[in-house]
Amino acid sequence: MDRATEIAAAVESSVEALVAVLERARLAQQPMLPPAQLRVLTIVAENRHTNMSRLAEALDVVPSSGSRLCDRLEATGLLRRVADPRDRREVRLLLTPASRRLLADLRERRQAALAEVLERMPAGARQDLLRALQAFEAAAATFETATTDGTGREDRQSA
């Protein structure tokens, strides 16, 4: 199996299995959040200066849709909206202690689920997998740099 297309098909199949393991961990979480709301919390956690327009852009939705997601999260105590101290016209999105605990719990559940699957693999295969994933990550980073303008959008000059 040396052809890149055959390997790509095998990787795709493995990714589907990986996603299924991670999804089982998410479904076991309490409270269980819909994927879109979980994505909002993840975006806010990754960037402490997230406002409504940046969130809508990251989600690739219109601002009103992002606002409705935030309404639901705010109503459940998982998100706060506050005026930006640098520009009172801007509204910053902040995680609450409850949402930080929820994200930490989900991360622990996912890692435990992955560890359970990895323990079923021979030790040598785990090491091979680790090396392969590190090489894939490095190759993906150079692919991303070569094909986009740094924003995730295709670079029109190289396309």
Inside any domain, residue 152: no
Please tell me whether residue 90 adopts helix, strand or coil conformation: strand
- The CATH number covering residue 75 comes to 1.10.10.10
- pLDDT truncated to tens, each residue of the chain (159 aa)? 568 889 899 999 999 999 999 999 888 888 788 999 999 999 999 988 899 989 999 999 998 999 999 999 999 999 999 988 888 788 899 999 999 999 999 999 999 999 999 999 999 999 999 999 999 999 999 987 776 655 555 554 444
- pLDDT tens by residue, 38-71: 999 999 999 888 999 899 999 999 989 999 999 9
Inside any domain, residue 140: yes
Provide the domain count of the chain: 1
What pTM was estimated for this model as a whole?
0.77
Phi, psi of 89 (to 5 degrees): -75, -20
Inside any domain, residue 155: no
Token readout for 133 is 């994933």
Other Cβ atoms closer than 10 A to 148 = 14
Phi, psi of 116 (to 5 degrees): -60, -40
User: How many angstroms separate the CA atoms of 23 and 10, rounded?
Assistant: 20
Token readout for 130 is 């680790």
User: How many angstroms separate the CA atoms of 60 and 56, rounded?
Assistant: 6
Inside any domain, residue 78: yes
Inside any domain, residue 156: no
- For 45, residues 6+ apart whose C-beta sits below 8 A from its C-beta are 95, 99, 100, 103
| pLDDT attached to residue 154 | 52
**Enclosing domain of residue 138:** 4-147
Q: Taking the C-alpha atoms of 135, 107, 112 and 136 in order, what is their torsion angle to the nearest 10 degrees?
A: -10
Cα 56–Cα 59–Cα 63 angle in degrees, nearest 5: 20
